[in-house]
Amino acid sequence: MSALGELGKLKKGAAGERKQNKAAFIFLSPWLLGLVAITIGPMLVSLYLSFTDYNLIQDPSWIGLDNFTRMLHDTRLLNSLRVTFTYVLVGVPLQLGLALFIAVLLDRGMRGLAIYRSIFYLPSLLGTSVAVAILWKQMFGTTGLVNQFLAVFGIQGPGWISNPDTALGSIILLHVWTFGSPMIIFLAGLRQIPVMYYEAAEVDGANRWKKFSRITLPLLSPIIFFNLVLQIIGAFQSFTQAFIVSGGTGGPSDSTMFFTLYLYQRGFGQFDMGYASAMAWVLLIMVGILTAINFFASKFWVFYDD
């Protein structure tokens, strides 16, 4: 009887587990449906279109790798890669450096910390919006606020947006200005570093720089790595700033022609959707390769507290 009783309990337990799994699947089904219909499905269609000649009107025709080989001779695409990599390699380190600097200042426990934290985080909420991009365009225009400020000191400022030498720098500055999100993450990481390390360093006579370089940076390196990966991925996907500031043209001499902006022009301006789909997959591959390189390199400079 005891064996039968145990067998009955096992059957009831299995039936209860099946009911729980069924309930979990029901609750997850809207997300799974969205994943298939909104993400995986369009990605597979885009992969197919990247090997076709498709203009949104006629049926796509298979052309194999022609779209990818055309990219090797597309000077505007190669220029867009140069602009995008410049934006990423300059903008991301400056943004993370400023975010870490502000986080270290806020970590000292100043009064009104919540207010300062909210003020510094606000640009991250607004930085990629159309309204802020338009405001940025007005500020750095020929008669914008920046040049009006310089005129007070007798300095004739250039048209920052209309000058090919400064247009990209203006957009990089907008990216750096949205440092609030990584700053909040840095601040949370700083709060997790035990105070006893700093106290021991003070006993040994370490100054502020040594405490920062020997304690703060190594223990904060996993957070730095996390922010670095996220910001690089986000920077490669930047579109709104370049589109609004340049008016969708790519700026003077294509100086702000981001890869995503050129992709938009080819797909929705010239209706070359097959070529645009191939560009989208090239972007995905580039981001994937850079992310893999970051993960590989992280074992040489990221330290985890085991």
Cα three-residue angle 232-161-229, rounded to 5 degrees: 5
Residue-wise pLDDT for 142-173, tens only, equals 788 888 888 888 888 888 888 888 899 999 99
Rounded mean pLDDT of 129-152? 80
Residue-level pLDDT at 172: 93
121: pLDDT confidence band, cut at 50, 70 and 90? Answer: confident
Out of 49-58, 61-70, 124-133, 209-218, which region has the weakest mean confidence (pLDDT)?
A: 124-133
Share above pLDDT 70 across residues of the chain, in percent, rounded to a whole number: 90
If you average pLDDT over every residue of the chain, what do you get? 86
Q: Which fold has domain 67-298?
A: MetI-like fold (1.10.3720)
Residue-wise pLDDT for 31-64, tens only, equals 888 888 888 999 999 999 999 999 988 899 999 9
Residue-level pLDDT at 24: 78
Residue-level pLDDT at 6: 55
302: pLDDT confidence band, cut at 50, 70 and 90? Answer: very high
Residue-level pLDDT at 222: 94
Residue-level pLDDT at 63: 95
Out of 65-69, 199-203, 277-281, which region has the weakest mean confidence (pLDDT)?
A: 199-203
